């Protein structure tokens, strides 16, 4: 019997990020106005946001210890808005310019970094 609860915190993180990559990054819908094609700069921006979240979460888990141990549940509860935003990036209009999408992704990355800065300073 191996369930999610028996996994280490970093393995839980990997599972959740893999789910985002599978369901929100790789999956496309050719019949939608926002997902019938995806320019390379949108693809790269989305992946940068996902990687930023993963890197910050992994660092928070690895560098915490003892009574101040940061768990995946704590991370998810404290960064719920940023995690949700990762799942919504695919809905950005692909017709936006590179600069417009760059600003959107830059704001998401800044929000992620700020949320983890607050989390790790507690």
Q: Please enumerate, as own/partner, the contacts of 87-91 that have beta carbons within 8 Å and a separation of 24 or more.
A: 87/20, 87/23, 87/24, 88/24, 89/24, 89/45, 89/46, 89/49, 90/24, 90/25, 90/34, 90/35, 90/46, 91/34, 91/35
pLDDT, averaged in runs of 10, over the chain (122 residues): 81 95 88 83 96 97 88 96 96 94 98 96 79
Tens digit of each residue's pLDDT (9 = 90 or more) over 75-96: 999 999 999 999 999 999 999 9
Name residues whose C-beta falls within 8 Å of residue 32's C-beta, 6 or more positions apart in sequence.
none
For residue 33, the model assigns a pLDDT of 78
CA 68 to chain centre: 23
CA distance 33 to 30: 8
Strands in the chain per DSSP E: none
Radius of gyration for the chain, computed over Cα atoms and rounded to the nearest angstrom: 16
Cα–Cα nearest to 117, from 59, 48, 62:
59
């Amino acid at each position: 019997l191996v369930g999610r609860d028996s996994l280490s915190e970093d393995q839980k993180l990997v599972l959740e990020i893999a789910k985002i990559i599978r369901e929100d990054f790789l999956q496309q819908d050719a019949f939608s106005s926002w997902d019938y094609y995806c320019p390379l700069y949108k693809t790269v921006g989305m992946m940068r946001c996902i990687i930023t979240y993963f890197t910050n979460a992994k660092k928070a888990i690895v560098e915490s210890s003892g009574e101040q141990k940061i768990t995946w549940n704590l991370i998810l509860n404290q960064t719920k808005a940023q995690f949700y935003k990762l799942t919504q990036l695919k809905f950005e209009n692909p017709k936006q310019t590179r600069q417009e999408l760059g600003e959107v992704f830059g704001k998401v990355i800044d929000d992620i970094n700020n949320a983890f800065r607050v989390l790790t300073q507690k």
